[in-house]
């Protein structure tokens, strides 16, 4: 077993600092672990600096600074790993429940509504909020944090609207149209203009924005805003009025005898019904 000199200790500590580890407690812990490994494993005639470079990669995957980043996450979120594991589990479970519920609904089997509800609740109220919290930490700029949070909130509203639509609950259309409209006309432009000025992410930002706008626009185009149904109802009403007027005219024409007193009134009524029929025909042509 070899003892490490003071100069070698200073070298290790300075190298740890140079690799981006700035938390003092973490520096001391790393120094202690590295020294223990070297003292127990280094051969008697082995060069210290060469052996140090060989054993250092044991403490990281890509670079030593990873320990600094992980420690900061642990200090900021004491339950970081629990939240991340919960995120994975709820994401997988909600996807499975949603797919299973949709399959049962298509096949008209019982239990479809239960699985769709469970999948929607897990995704909207557990998965997406956890995603917001974890991604909020990863982003450095406040603008990116705001845009990201807004996007997830819109996704929550849209998915809840889809869930309501599948379950035939009220306010489904309002939630879906509000969510998709906010996504297409608010989130996508905000996402594009807050990120396109950065040279390193400009290309990806443009591609993502085009894809989101295209998909969101297609979904928005599928909504029935009520104008088509309104026109259909008006045409149906006009058709019924036309049929009613024609029926009245036929009834009037079927009378064999009309008293002299009421004859002028019948002629006038017949003329008015005929004019009304002409107006309805003109309206239908428009």
Tokens of 8: 């070698």
* Co-location of 16 and 93 in the same domain: no
Single out the residue in 14, 41, 72 at which a domain terminates: 72
Whether 247 is in a domain gets the answer yes
* Co-location of 87 and 127 in the same domain: yes
Whether 198 is in a domain gets the answer yes
* Co-location of 30 and 54 in the same domain: yes
Residues 6+ apart with CB under 8 A from 277: 242, 245, 246, 249
Single out the residue in 171, 200, 221 at which a domain terminates: 221
DSSP assignment letter at 114? H
Single out the residue in 51, 72, 93 at which a domain terminates: 72
* Co-location of 153 and 96 in the same domain: yes
Whether 119 is in a domain gets the answer yes
Indicate whether 163 pLDDT > 60: yes
Whether 94 is in a domain gets the answer yes
Question: What is the count of structural domains for the chain?
Answer: 3
Residues 6+ apart with CB under 8 A from 2: 38, 39, 42, 44
CB atoms under 10 Å from CB of 122, counted, come to 21
pLDDT band per the 50, 70, 90 thresholds, residue 92: very high
**For 119-141, what is the mean pLDDT?**
78
Q: Distance (Å, rounded) from C-alpha 227 to C-alpha 153?
A: 29
* Co-location of 204 and 100 in the same domain: yes
Whether 1 is in a domain gets the answer no
Indicate the average pLDDT of the chain.
Answer: 78
| 197-254 residue pLDDT tens | 888 788 888 888 888 888 877 777 776 655 445 555 556 666 666 666 666 666 666 6
- Global pTM reads 0.47
| 31-88 residue pLDDT tens | 888 888 888 888 877 888 888 888 888 887 788 788 888 777 776 666 677 788 888 8
State the alpha helices, DSSP H only, in the chain.
Answer: 6-18, 24-41, 48-55, 65-76, 80-106, 112-122, 128-138, 142-166, 172-182, 188-195, 202-221, 227-254, 260-285
Q: Distance (Å, rounded) from C-alpha 97 to C-alpha 257?
A: 75
Range of the domain at 13: 6-72
């Amino acid at each position: 077993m070899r003892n490490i000199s003071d100069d070698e200790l200073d070298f290790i500590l300075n190298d740890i600092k140079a690799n981006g580890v700035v938390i003092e407690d973490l520096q001391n812990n790393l120094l202690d672990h590295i020294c223990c490994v070297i003292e127990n494993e280094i051969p008697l005639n082995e060069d210290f600096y060469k052996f140090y470079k060989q054993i250092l990669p044991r403490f990281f995957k890509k670079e030593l600074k990873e320990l600094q980043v992980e420690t900061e996450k642990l200090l900021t979120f004491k339950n970081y790993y629990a939240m991340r594991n919960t995120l994975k589990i709820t994401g997988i479970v909600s996807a499975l429940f949603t797919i299973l519920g949709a399959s049962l609904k298509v096949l008209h089997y019982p239990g479809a509504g239960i699985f769709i509800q469970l999948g929607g609740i897990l995704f909207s109220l557990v998965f997406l909020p956890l995603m917001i919290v974890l991604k909020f930490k990863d982003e450095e700029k406040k603008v990116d944090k705001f845009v990201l949070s807004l996007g997830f909130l819109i996704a929550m509203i849209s998915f809840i609207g889809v869930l309501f639509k599948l379950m035939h609950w009220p306010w489904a259309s309002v939630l879906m149209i509000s969510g998709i409209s906010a996504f297409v006309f608010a989130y996508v432009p905000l996402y594009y203009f807050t990120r396109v000025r950065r040279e390193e992410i400009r290309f990806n930002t443009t591609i993502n924005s085009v894809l989101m706008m295209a998909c969101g626009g297609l979904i928005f185009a599928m909504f029935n805003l009520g104008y088509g149904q309104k026109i259909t109802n008006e045409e149906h009403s006009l058709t019924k009025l036309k049929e009613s007027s024609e029926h009245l005219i036929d009834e009037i024409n079927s009378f064999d005898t009309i008293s002299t007193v009421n004859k002028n009134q019948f002629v006038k009524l017949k003329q008015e019904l005929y004019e009304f029929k002409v107006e309805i025909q003109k309206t239908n042509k428009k």
